Structure 1
Amino acid sequence: MLTRRTTAAAVAATLLIGTPAVAAAATPRTTPDSRTAASTCGRSVNPNTYFRPGMRHAGPSAWIGSTRIQLRYGNRPGGPRYYWATITHASRGDKVTLYWDIDHGESWRDSGACSATVHSGGAQNTRAVKAVHGTGFHLQAKACGHHASRTRCTTSLP
């Protein structure tokens, strides 16, 4: 009798302990690390020099008065898509931020933000962040700007 209880307890413990390991092994990690580009923009590029003008495209815009916040995207021929945010007709000290999330199945995981501050000239862009895609996930990005004590964001692009 003691042997059956011990065996049953051992089997139950093995199932309980083994279940997360089995689940983790059955579901491989395919999403990038959430810390890839938090405040430093991670592995990013300067969109002004990395993409030829014909390879830069305008995405959705948002307005605060005459200040425009825009999500931009581009790629090199045959290369992956990159996203960045721009602000134009802005004032010194205004900020523009690129936010991105990774859509993984039914859950969203915040992946990061990349910001830049207007120092002169009334326009600024963030660095460009490479879009990532894989089995069951993709990156979605939007641009937000802060001007005249107000913040506005664009719609997002997948």
Structure 2
Amino acid sequence: MPLFATSGTAVTVVAALLLATPAGAAAAPRTPPARHTTADSCGPSVNPNSYIPSARRHNGPAVKIGSTKIQLRYGNRPGGPRYYWATITHASRGDNVALHWHIESDSWYDSGVCSATVHSGGSQNTRAVKDVHGGGVHLEAQACGKHAGHNKCAPPRP
């Protein structure tokens, strides 16, 4: 028994649809521009609480909304690359924190956002992304947060 059956009418309809489609529309793959965003997500990342020793965690730029602090943090394992993440402290359940990052070079661009919501305890970290630099490649990171209906971002760090 065949996997599918055709009738003369079905073949005619399919042929008409194929003829009505512009020649290159279905076959041509979409080519992104030379500079484009590919991630729009957290991307490859680690949990800074378990991956980066506490003695090797450092504070970067911060901003406050009342007593709530949104801060960019960074750190590394001994001999390893630097990682960036965002943290929110003195926060309320439901508050958000996000790490906005982008990497660029002369020929390409990539970006993403790692976000997290405070569930309990008044503080929350995002996942941490690895710093990429050298050879014309540059990563920039920024911590942003939302508390009591207000959004603020700390200054970015190259």
For this structure pair, what is the TM-score category when the shorter chain's length is used for normalisation?
Answer: 0.7 to 0.9
The secondary structure found in structure 2 opposite 1:48 is: helix
Report the residue type matching 1:142 in the other structure. Answer: Q
Max Rg structure: 2
Q: By how many angstroms is 1:101 displaced? A: 1.8
Partner of 1:47: 48
Question: In the alignment, is the contact (CA less than 8 A) between 1:101 and 1:108 conserved in 2?
Answer: no
Instruction: Look up the SS of the partner of 2:113 in the other structure.
Output: strand
Tell me the secondary structure at the aligned position of residue 54 of structure 1.
helix
Note the C-alpha offset of 1:156.
Answer: 1.1
d(CA) in 1 for partners of 2:66 and 2:108? Answer: 32
Which letter maps to 2:136? Answer: G
Structure 1, unmatched stretches of 5+, are: 1-28
SS in 2 for 1:61: strand
Matches within 5 A, 1:114-125: 114-125=114-125
Amino acid at match of 1:98: L
Deviation at 1:108, TM superposition (A): 8.9
Q: Percent identity?
A: 66
Over 3 Å off, 4+ runs: 107-110
Which deviations, in whole Å up to 9, do the C-alpha atoms of 1:122-142 show, x marking residues without a partner? Answer: 100100011112421210101
- Contact 2:38/2:110, CA 8 A, preserved across alignment: no
Cα deviations by residue, 1:22-53 (Å, 9 ceiling, x for unpaired): xxxxxxx8x9x8434x33x2211110110111
